[in-house]
Amino acid sequence: MMQRQVTHASGSFAACADCKKEPRHFTAHGSAKHEDPLFAAWAERHQLECVCARRTGWCNTLADAVRVWNELGDTLPAAAQAGGNVLPIRLHRPT
């Protein structure tokens, strides 16, 4: 898969719910390592990704990527702040 970053004017996308920074826009062509190789070229795909590693999946259009980014909202941080019974993996290993 060949990827490249596309620059946009500041304020083009909503700020990240985690770190409050604006995401970067990436486009890609081709198939990823986990996808079956195809002889036909994949259409251009779009992804929004923040510097804190919060990202959308690969979407067919930029509009779809923006919609998914806006739907991410505060779902992940709210679950982490709830303080449920989720433990890091290293705590599950027997000592």
Q: Count CB atoms within 10 A of the CB of residue 78.
A: 10
Higher pLDDT, 95 or 7: 7
Higher pLDDT, 35 or 24: 24
Q: Specify the pTM.
A: 0.66
- 82-94 residue pLDDT tens: 455 655 555 555 5
Any idea where the domains of the chain sit in the sequence? 2-75
**What pLDDT was estimated at residue 81?**
47
Which tokens hold the place of 15? 């700020």
The secondary element (H helix, E strand) that includes residue 27 is strand 24-29
- 34-90 residue pLDDT tens: 666 655 556 789 999 999 888 998 898 999 999 999 888 654 444 444 455 655 555
